[in-house]
Amino acid sequence: MAGPGGWRDKEVTDLGHLPDPTGIFSLDKTIGLGTYGRIYLGLHEKTGAFTAVKVMNARKGPTVTEWHSFGALLSFFILQDEEEDLRTELNLLKKYSFHKNIVSFYGAFFKMSPPGQRHQLWMVMELCAAGSVTDVVRMTRNQSLKEDWIAYICREILQVNFHIIILP
């Protein structure tokens, strides 16, 4: 599933220029909670493929004069000290998501909402239906992980690290 219009080639600097997800992706049920918002089961409208969509609701709505300023816009979603973390996450996902051990990132979207409702930032990613390594650890909290599972997980993590650090 390709991202919208060359988003992989650009740094995320201006939320106001992100595409609207309407007609591209739709949301179904909540499947988790993230650092910045809820994670929904998403649907790619054209292909019917399921995705995971992180949705961040604005804490307040921007005024017309604030609309075109990235710093001002981002401040409606997160606190200033979290801004760099979010921007880094978006840009790292765009750069490395083609690796088999990193979740595929399909794009970031900005959903304008009607007056009285909060605007939303959507981060659309591959749905990992089996869960994460963290989920495996939580499910086996009172048990030891088998050595072959630990070896497999460590090998996969090392492959990603090699890809990111050694092969930039």
In the block, tokens 């990132």 appear at: 105
Domain ranges of the chain: 7-129, 130-168
Residue 168 has pLDDT above 70, yes or no: no
Alpha helices in the chain (DSSP H): 70-75, 80-96, 133-139, 147-161
What is the average pLDDT across 18-46? 91
Q: What is the mean pLDDT of the chain?
A: 77
What are the tens digits of pLDDT across the range 101-152?
Answer: 888 999 889 887 777 777 788 999 999 888 778 888 888 888 888 899 899 9
Judge whether 55 and 122 are in contact, CB under 8 Å: yes
Higher pLDDT, residue 45 or 92: 45
Nearest residue to 51 via CA among 123, 132, 134: 123
For position 8, what pLDDT does the model report? 44
Q: According to CATH, what is the number of the domain 7-129? A: 3.30.200.20
Per the structure block, which two tokens stand in for 162?
Answer: 């090699």
pTM of the model: 0.73
Neighbours of 15 (CB within 10 A): 22
What is the average pLDDT across 74-98? 72
Q: What are phi and psi of 83, to 5 degrees?
A: -60, -50
Q: How far is CA 156 from CA 20, 142, 161, in A?
A: 35, 24, 9
Residue 21 has pLDDT above 50, yes or no: yes
Q: Is 54 annotated as a binding residue?
A: yes
User: What element of type H or E holds 123?
Assistant: strand 120-126
For position 68, what pLDDT does the model report? 44
Per the structure block, which two tokens stand in for 8?
Answer: 């992989």
Residue 54 binned pLDDT confidence (cut-offs 50, 70, 90): very high
> What percent of the chain has pLDDT above 90?
25
**Spatial separation of the C-alpha atoms in residues 158 and 156, rounded to whole Å:** 5
Judge whether 96 and 102 are in contact, CB under 8 Å: yes
